[in-house]
Amino acid sequence: MRHHGVPFPRLPLPSAQPGGAGQGESLETFQQWLGEAIPLVGHLGIKRMYWQGDSLVWDLALSPNLNDKGTGFGGSLTAQTTLIGWCWTALWLRARLREQDVVVAQASQRFLAPVTGDYRLECRPCQVDGPEQLQARLASAGKGRLALVQQLYLDDVLCLEAEGDYAVLPAISTG
């Protein structure tokens, strides 16, 4: 059981994996840890998590995210877009064997069409060189930010587009 003000234990870092956005990580292990670290995750309807190029993709069930109209509840969809961006950034750091905290600094959403069935959420960097810019900032300052875009699709229809700015905090010294 989680307690207020008590950080959840970190997931051990994966074995070193060259390159990629975090593709060397066992996403099943990460998702299990995520559900324990953030209890809400177990209620979001995440059926599958996988990488497609530099995009982190989730397949989601609509049923736990219904609103009173029988479509996707905006609050749930917003939570999912925020969380997938956090996961993208955390997995990217983990692939580089960096234990640093990630927080969302800013987020915005545009709802374009109702979500009426199970759906797919994709997250990728806003700029192709965004991860390289973050890497350089981490090397020089020990902290940085990364802008990510999240797109929610029902089949091939774009229903929601969101952007998030994720801050990587300085590493905490354990010495």
Tell me if 4 is assigned to some domain: no
CB count within 10 Å of CB 88 equals: 27
**Domain limits for position 47:** 27-168
Tell me if 87 is assigned to some domain: yes
Tell me if 118 is assigned to some domain: yes
Are 122 and 55 in contact by the 8 Å Cβ rule? The answer is yes
pLDDT tens for each residue of the chain, 175 residues long: 778 899 899 998 887 655 556 566 789 999 999 999 999 999 999 999 999 999 999 999 999 999 999 999 999 999 999 999 999 999 999 999 999 999 999 999 999 999 999 999 999 999 999 999 999 999 999 999 999 999 999 999 999 999 999 999 998 765 5
Tell me if 41 is assigned to some domain: yes
What number of CA atoms fall less than 13 Å from residue 91's CA on the CB side?
30
Tell me if 113 is assigned to some domain: yes
pLDDT the model gives residue 22: 59
CA distance to 63, 64, 72, 121, per residue, from 68 (Å) = 12, 12, 9, 22
CATH number for the domain including 132? 3.10.129.10
Tell me if 8 is assigned to some domain: no
Tell me if 59 is assigned to some domain: yes
Specify the number of domains making up the chain. Answer: 1
Chain centre distance of CA 97: 17
Tell me if 144 is assigned to some domain: yes
